[in-house]
């Protein structure tokens, strides 16, 4: 049996992730239609299909605006947030992406997310907590991760899966109230009702979480390639995970359906890499980035270089380019001004 070397595997890995994601979305769509069949027979299945198509169409055009509004994101530009904006601009150029809209969220929890139906209509957002706590290199790595989601079309994929999961839960609630009616068209009787109420929503949640975790690993790898240093992203993930657990994100707690969009789970009490987690375990992600750094010949993975004590030449390092950093070793009061 022929062995697949590491280089070939790294080329195949993104394609395999996309195949897995497509299969999971297909399963989710079939589950939704099957749930409609359990509740109302063939007519119910068709109604479920039309309902799902309508919800996904609405989400396709409006999900980015809805999410940004939920988290009170404010758009910034090169004048209002020069350093932060310049970092995103440089990374977008390196990745070959159109310049996304750039947002800041006034929130102490360090975190970030990307949204938008395609690269031409994308937006990236970072909290003030992230911009204040991380070095410029770590901020660049985080935003590169988010641009990787944009490039991989993950923002659209996750919108579709979140919409389908929500619709399945709604149908489960519908079955709870109306599934027991003997006059309905439920072909499976009481068993179908139980499946609609419990099994289908649970399966949908598991699939949604599985897709989220698959895409996070892929975005970590591509983000590290965009920023050029896996160690920066590994360092950033460690800082974000540690601080996020000690800082409550009220907007995320009020809108838990958006948790999968963030680079680190913004909700409290979810740290395990299991079926019900929106994100992989941070330690696993950092380990994968360390391995990637070793493969790239980065030695210790750039962890020392990602810290301000390492004495980096700020005029040369990072995607913002030569000469963009302030001279004299002084740092601005914030990356946005």
Per residue in 139-180, pLDDT tens?
Answer: 999 999 999 999 988 887 777 776 767 677 676 666 665 554
Helices 136-151, 82-95: inter-axial angle, 10-degree rounding: 50
Is 146 noted as a catalytic residue in this protein?
yes
Q: Find the range with the poorest average confidence among 33-37, 77-81, 113-117, 270-274.
A: 270-274
Q: Is 5 domain-assigned? A: no
Q: Is 333 domain-assigned? A: no
- Long-range Cβ pairs for the range 162-165 (8 Å, 24+): 162/59, 162/208, 162/257, 162/260, 163/52, 163/55, 163/56, 163/59, 163/63, 164/25, 164/28, 164/29, 164/32, 164/52, 164/56, 164/204, 164/208, 165/28, 165/201, 165/204, 165/205, 165/207, 165/208
Residue 301 has pLDDT above 90, yes or no: no
Q: What is the DSSP letter of 257?
A: G
Q: Is 68 domain-assigned? A: yes
pLDDT of residue 131: 96
Residue 334 has pLDDT above 50, yes or no: no
Burial of 183 (0-12, 13-18, 19+ CB in 10 A): exposed
Q: Find the range with the poorest average confidence among 155-169, 216-230, 253-267, 294-308.
A: 294-308
Q: Find the range with the poorest average confidence among 93-102, 188-197, 199-208, 265-274.
A: 188-197
pLDDT of residue 279: 82
Residues 6 or more apart whose Cβ sits within 8 Å of residue 322: 315, 316
**Catalytic residue selected from 120, 138, 146, 295:** 146
Looking at the structure of the chain, the number of domains it has is 1
Query: pTM here?
Result: 0.73
pLDDT of residue 215: 85
Per the annotation, does 149 bind a ligand?
yes
Q: Find the range with the poorest average confidence among 55-64, 80-89, 171-180, 293-302.
A: 171-180
Q: Is 258 domain-assigned? A: yes
Most trustworthy range by pLDDT among 47-51, 60-64, 65-69, 226-230: 226-230
| Alpha-helical regions (H) of 187-281 | 189-194, 200-227, 230-244, 250-254
Residues 223-239, mean pLDDT to the nearest whole number: 95
Q: Is 2 domain-assigned? A: no
Per-residue pLDDT tens digits for 3-58? 444 444 444 555 665 676 677 677 777 777 777 777 777 887 888 788 777 877 77
Rounded CA separation 28/22 (Å): 10
Residues 198-218, mean pLDDT to the nearest whole number: 70
Q: Which of 146, 129, 145 shows the shortest CA–CA distance to 234?
A: 145
Residue 274 has pLDDT above 60, yes or no: no
Per the annotation, does 279 bind a ligand?
no
Per the annotation, does 145 bind a ligand?
yes
Q: Is 3 domain-assigned? A: no
Q: How many CB atoms lie within 10 A of CB 332?
A: 11
Q: Is 334 domain-assigned? A: no
Q: Which of 201, 88, 182 shows the shortest CA–CA distance to 139?
A: 88
More confident residue, 131 or 16: 131
Q: Find the domain containing 322 and state its range.
A: 17-326
Q: Is 308 domain-assigned? A: yes
Rounded CA separation 181/179 (Å): 6
Q: What is the DSSP letter of 262?
A: B
Q: Is 123 helix (H, G, I), strand (E, B) or coil?
A: strand
């Amino acid at each position: 049996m022929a062995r697949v070397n590491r280089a070939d595997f790294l080329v195949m890995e993104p394609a395999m992730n996309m195949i897995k994601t497509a299969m999971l979305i297909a399963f989710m769509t079939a589950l939704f239609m099957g749930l409609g069949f359990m509740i109302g027979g063939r007519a119910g299945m068709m109604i479920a299909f039309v309902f799902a198509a309508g919800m996904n169409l609405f989400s396709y055009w409006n999900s980015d605006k809805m999410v940004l509004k939920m988290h009170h994101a404010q758009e910034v530009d090169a004048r209002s947030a020069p350093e932060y904006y310049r970092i995103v601009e440089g990374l977008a150029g390196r990745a070959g992406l159109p310049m996304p809209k750039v947002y800041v969220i006034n929130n102490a929890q360090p975190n970030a997310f990307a949204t938008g139906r395609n690269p031409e209509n994308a937006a990236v957002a970072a909290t003030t907590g992230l911009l204040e706590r991380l070095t410029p290199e770590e901020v660049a790595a985080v935003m590169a991760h988010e641009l990787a989601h944009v490039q991989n079309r993950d923002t659209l994929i996750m919108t579709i899966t979140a919409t389908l999961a929500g619709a399945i839960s709604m149908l489960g609630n519908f079955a709870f109230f109306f599934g027991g009616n003997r006059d309905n068209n439920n072909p499976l009787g009481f068993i179908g009702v139980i499946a609609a109420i419990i099994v289908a929503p649970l399966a949908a949640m598991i699939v949604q979480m599985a897709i989220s975790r698959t895409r996070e690993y892929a975005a970590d790898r591509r983000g590290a390639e965009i920023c050029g240093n896996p160690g920066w992203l590994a360092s950033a993930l460690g800082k974000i995970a540690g601080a996020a657990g000690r800082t409550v994100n009220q907007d995320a707690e009020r809108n838990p359906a958006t948790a999968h969009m963030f680079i680190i789970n913004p909700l409290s009490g979810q740290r395990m890499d299991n079926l019900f987690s929106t994100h992989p375990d941070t330690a696993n992600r950092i380990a994968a980035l360390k391995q990637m750094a070793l493969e790239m010949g980065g030695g210790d993975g750039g962890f020392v270089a990602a810290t301000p004590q390492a004495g980096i030449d700020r005029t040369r390092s990072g995607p913002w380019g030569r000469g963009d950093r302030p001279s004299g070793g002084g740092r601005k009061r914030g990356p946005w001004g």
